A and B are shown apart, each in its own frame.
Chain A
Amino acid sequence: MAFSIKVNGRARSVDVEPDMPLLWVLRDELDLKGPKFGCGAGFCGACTVHMDGEPIRSCVTPVSAVGTAAITTVEGIGDDPVGRRVQQAWLALDVAQCGYCQGGQILAATALLKATPKPTDADIDAAMRGNLCRCATYVRIRAAIKAAADLPTTDTRVA
């Protein structure tokens, strides 16, 4: 079945089953490898993308549920000034170890900061508890979110 979905600001056409999860449409049909497969059941958050700015689990979101909503992946989050600040804070604090979960972490953190520009620890706990990091980089994730909240907005994208 043909779908037209908006991904990172571009209209993309795919011909897939309506129940194919958005994660696999992004990864295997559109070759966007940023969203990651971790559990396939919404437990880990490695597949997090934004749907109209809200973080969702793309591994349990059928492509047919996307409709006209704008999808943003970690490849596109640098187009957003808050997303850029989060990416820069992630680099400044050298957050990643293996790095597999960090795309999802960055999208969750960006959504948090857009809704709550100066988050408390409790805000961070609530917004980020669904994004698991097996390397347990949580000390730096927390610090990076706070750092991103204080960073000036920049036009420079992470290459």
Chain B
Amino acid sequence: MSLEPSRRAFLKASAAGGGMLLMFGIGEAAAQAPPALNAYVQIAPDGLVTIMAKNPEIGQGVKTALPMLIAEELDVDWKDVRTEQAISDPAAFGRQFAGGSTATPMNYEPLRRVGAAARQMLIAAAANQWGVPAAECSTMSGVIEHKASGRRLRYGQIAAKAAALPAPDPDSLTLKDASAFRIIGKPQMGVDAPKIVTGQPLFGIDVTRPGMLYAVFEKCPVFGGTVSGANLDDVRSQPAVKGAFIVKGVDGAPSLSEGVAIVADSWWRANQARRRLKVDWDEGPTVGDSSDSFAVQARTLFGQPPQLSIRTEGDVDAAFASAARVIEADYAYPFVAHASLEPQNCTAEVRGGKVEIWAPTQNPETGRPQVAKALGVDPSDITIHLVRCGGGFGRRLQVDYMVEAALIAKLAGAPVKLVWNRTDDLTHDFYRPGGFHRFKAGLAADGKLVAFSDHFVSFGHGERYVGSGNMDATEFPASFVDNLSYGASLIPTGVPTGPLRAPRSNALAFAFQSFLDEAAHAAGQDPLAFQLALLTREGARPPGPKGGFSAERMKGVLQHVAEMTAWGKGPPLPAGRGRGLACYFSHLGYFAEVVEASVASDGQVGVHKIWIAADVGRQIINPSGAETQAQGAAIDGVSVALGQAITIVKGRVAQTNFGDYPLLSIDRAPDVDVSFLITDHAPTGLGEPALPLAAPALCNAIFAACGKRVRSLPIDPSLLKST
């Protein structure tokens, strides 16, 4: 699937500061009206190029990678480029969000055309001045040259004249051949790195405003609970406290949960004042939710036919009946939290009907209408500044903190910085939903997978899945097995859920790729050979509306990771050590991973090495960012598998901090080798797709190491002890 052709840049040049300002907007190519042209590339008289970075930066490197695209075609040196973070203005920039690993596929070509347009205008201006044909001029490192006459001009010297020329039609421009790239495809340091290593204020939590107060916000421990009353006078009597308010729910602002805000002259004092706070909560109808009861309900539902059908192919019952061998297994995984290291926070200022917000958010525009409703202002009266996020992972696609900060600032009558503490953050997330799978696989005498079924027990109400709790009909191995049935049953819950890095895939890959490994072993086949054979099924059809899945590309990364690891060829590993394999397609990327792990006699798991083979198309934009994204995503998957679970007890979350919700530390983190397979397909994103397969590759390695199958996450060492 290519996302390139449907989007294009719209351009307009003007003079500014003695140089050139090329304004542009990215919009749908078929749009009736062009977008507002507020994004820009500015070329100053001294040659310094400033490029606006439009998307939120959450650590995925987009503030570096997108300007690289413009700079490459502009043909300047990267050292002469500065980037500037745009405000949230979708009329100008199109959708500005960080999610779905979409920035690369959506922007790769349109932003290059912006750079190429600016370059063409600079050349045209120089050619006019020299009275030579533009075609005789070339550029290099921000200099235009007319070789025949030996004349040269720096971009800054001609930028003001270029600004007076009409902008070309971006689609008419010829882009560089990849072999001529000097910025794209070369490792570039993150643009904010010098500020990061010197501790300069960059993040949402670092925002300060004149006269600013600090807020904490206590919400009902039980999801959806409401406030009946609170000892506000007692809280207000504490000297540092500047205000204490009950914040009620607002129609039209569904992200807002009720609670009690305390505002003080320092954050620590506001948080201390919570010790005195006593709130009468109406805990609501979901106080009976618990992880234990979810597991009991799942077992009950497994005993019944699925409530919902997802996909049926062939005659699965007949195929199981005639299969040479049938295996069955149940898999389970828990709710997990995002746990970005920077807790949720937001700063807001309400003055004269105007609202200004500084939000570390992945998704600013979902917040705007809700803030407008909550404050009774027009959406156009809200300015949203995008601030660097100390991690996103999907948590900051939600906008609860924006609505809270704006309402509290209004109630306090002062600029307010709201900061959640770690317990707030872990207990009021939009969690990756847990889930349960009952799998069945039928194997022919020759080991071929001839029947496959999954009864997926997820969460939802009626026929409606909770956010990120559904499964597509395209889930592999659908369309690669003749007889297949996917069905689902739903458990109602009050636990809020939402996307977590590689949503759905981050859970489904564990279950499916682990069970396929079981099937390979049951078939007496090497897991690599089994997966390759599965992908070679004749007549396999594209798996549905998401489309575009290429078995050839998946086979390519499997074969590539096999080469990286000398799969099946090296000397045997020591006892207690093993390698596991998994592959997965998500976010348009094809990935195969091998994990080497060991299991000690006490069941403790060591993760030693991960090899990643990836196919994200023909061009890696920033090899430095690409490698670290893949490494981090894979280790993230290992981190979740080894220790993370959100447990629901009496309708609330049991975990309170990193003591009971552990993030992997460096002493347990594996080394990771990443290799990109370059194929002639459109470039796609890298924030997510290396994550989903790390957990099953690890669990398959554990099986190879000790013969015990992990069917439930997080991995429980007590089940892996030697007997």
Residues of chain A touching chain B, judged by Cβ–Cβ distance below 8 Å, are: 17, 20-21, 24, 27-29, 31-41, 43-44, 46, 73-75, 78, 87, 90-91, 94-103, 106, 124-126, 128-142, 158-159
Contacts and interface: CB of A to CB of B under 8 A. Distances in A.
Contact of B657 (A29, A39, A91): A39
Given A94-B628, A100-B59, A136-B633, 8 more contacts: A90-B193, A94-B625, A98-B389, A99-B196, A131-B665, A132-B341, A134-B663, A136-B631
B341 A46 contact: yes
B164 interface: no
B208 interface: yes
B192 to A, nearest CB: 7
B665 A129 contact: yes
B619 to A, nearest CB: 19
A87 B198 contact: yes
Contacts of A100: 59, 203, 340-342, 390-391
Contacts of B671: 139
Contacts of B421: 40
A20 B266 CA distance: 10
A158 B421 CA distance: 32
A37 B624 CA distance: 28
B658 A43 contact: yes
B388 interface: yes
B635 A101 contact: no
A106 B193 CA distance: 13
Contacts of A32: 199
Contacts of B208: 31
Contacts of B666: 124-125, 128-129, 131, 133, 138, 141-142
A24 B199 contact: no
A32 B61 CA distance: 25
24 contacts: A24-B266, A24-B268, A28-B214, A33-B199, A33-B203, A34-B199, A39-B422, A40-B422, A75-B199, A90-B193, A91-B189, A91-B194, A97-B629, A98-B59, A98-B390, A99-B203, A126-B667, A133-B341, A134-B340, A134-B393, A136-B631, A138-B669, A141-B666, A142-B666
A40 B268 CA distance: 10
Contacts of B200: 33-34, 75
Task: Categorize the interface residue count of chain B.
Answer: 35 or more
Given A24-B267, A134-B663, A37 B197 contact: no
Contacts of A43: 657-659
A75 B195 CA distance: 10
B469 interface: no
Interface string B648-665: 000000000111000111
Contact of B205 (A36, A103, A132): A36
A101 B342 CA distance: 9
B190 interface: yes
A94 B190 contact: yes
B58 interface: yes
Secondary structure of the B contact surface, majority rule: loop
A137 B197 contact: no
Contacts of A136: 631-633, 635-636, 639, 664, 669
A21 B657 CA distance: 18
A110 B58 CA distance: 26
Nearest to B419: A37
Q: Which of B200, B389, B624, B625 is packed against the most chain A CB atoms within 10 Å? A: B200
B202 interface: yes
B390 A129 contact: no
B206 interface: yes
A21 B393 CA distance: 29
Contacts of B339: 134
B467 to A, nearest CB: 22
B229 interface: no
Nearest to A41: B657
A121 B253 CA distance: 50
Contact of A73 (B199, B205, B388, B631): B199
Nearest to B610: A139
B215 to A, nearest CB: 13
A129 B389 CA distance: 23
A44 B663 contact: yes
